[in-house]
Amino acid sequence: MLTLSPRVSQKIAWVFIWGGGAITVLILVVIIGYVLVQGIPSISLDFLLTPPEGGMSGEGGISTVIVATLYLLGLTVVILVPIGLGAAIYLAEYAPDNRFTGLIRYGIEVLAGVPSIIFGLFGFALFVTALHFNFSILSGALTLVCLLLPTMIRTSEEAIRAVPYAHREAALALGATRWQVIWRVLLPTALPGIVTAIILCVGRAIEETACLFVTMGGCKGMPTSLLSCGRTLSLHVYYLATETNNFEGALATAAVLIITILVINSITNLLSSRFQRKMRGAT
């Protein structure tokens, strides 16, 4: 076997390494580029404001889909934040270092790894069937909450822990109860981090398809209550792509979806870097 000089093998390795980076970027560009280039031309105000038509044509817009998505996200956040934040506060401030806490953390870790379709099965068995919520935004939201709990708890806990200890000491020295410290000092200080956590969860919720596929019902009408069935943007992309031949519509909806996610990502990044700077500056 030919032995190469270290310099030469480094050069070869560099080619592969840069190649790897280039291919990764290429994949990204191809996917996002294709969707945006094909999809954006079909997006118009009309598209956003008219409801999808029935039948097999898949024509029409996505107004009801947008509304249903917003309902779903709203409901999910309202339920997720109290529970997730509460758990994060417990883990950051109250939890003793014992087995029980270890068990809770273990539960959160495991939950984080469960595939989305299993949450779908669970949601279908519990919320849709056993609790008789049927295919509805409510069932979808509750399922999403279960899916997102680990993310919300982890990120919020990090935000709360990031608050410098000096803050706590100062408040306690002034005679505050533990809860007062949390409510009046920690949470307000950690707020940007917590908001980042919420937005992160919203971002993940928007992408979700599999678990909503079997809990939301996929109907295309305008939802009138939390018990209406509905479709999210992701689901609509799926239905358009597979059910109808309207690939244009599917790509347009996908473009809307990607743009939304890009916006959410940027906001998250901005907020989190501001929060980190603020925390670093305070010590």
Q: Which helix (H) or strand (E) holds 221?
A: none
Among positions 98-157, residues that touch other proteins (CB under 8 A) are 103-104, 107-111, 113-122, 124-126, 132-135, 138, 146, 149-150, 153
Among positions 257-276, residues that touch other proteins (CB under 8 A) are 257-258, 261-262, 264-265, 269
In whole angstroms, what separates CA 115 from the centre of its chain? 14
Residue 71 binds other proteins, judged by CB under 8 A: no
Residue 78, amino acid:
V
What whole-number distance in Å separates Cα of residue 183 and Cα of residue 142?
27
Among positions 152-181, residues that touch other proteins (CB under 8 A) are 153, 177-180
What whole-number distance in Å separates Cα of residue 238 and Cα of residue 253?
10
Nearer to other proteins, 115 or 164 (CB): 115
What residues have CB less than 8 Å from 234, skipping those under 6 apart? 206, 207, 208, 209, 212, 257
Nearer to other proteins, 66 or 75 (CB): 75
Nearest approach, Cβ of residue 119 and other proteins (Å): 7
Q: Which helix (H) or strand (E) holds 249?
A: helix 247-282
Among positions 193-252, residues that touch other proteins (CB under 8 A) are 203, 206-210, 213-214, 217-221, 224-229, 234-235, 237-239, 241-245, 247, 250-251
Residue 227, amino acid:
L
Among positions 34-63, residues that touch other proteins (CB under 8 A) are 34-35, 54-56
Nearest approach, Cβ of residue 274 and other proteins (Å): 17
How many residues lie near other proteins (CB under 8 A)?
A: 116
Nearer to other proteins, 94 or 282 (CB): 94
Helix, strand counts (H, E) of the chain? 12, 0
Helix (H, G, I), strand (E, B) or coil at 60: strand
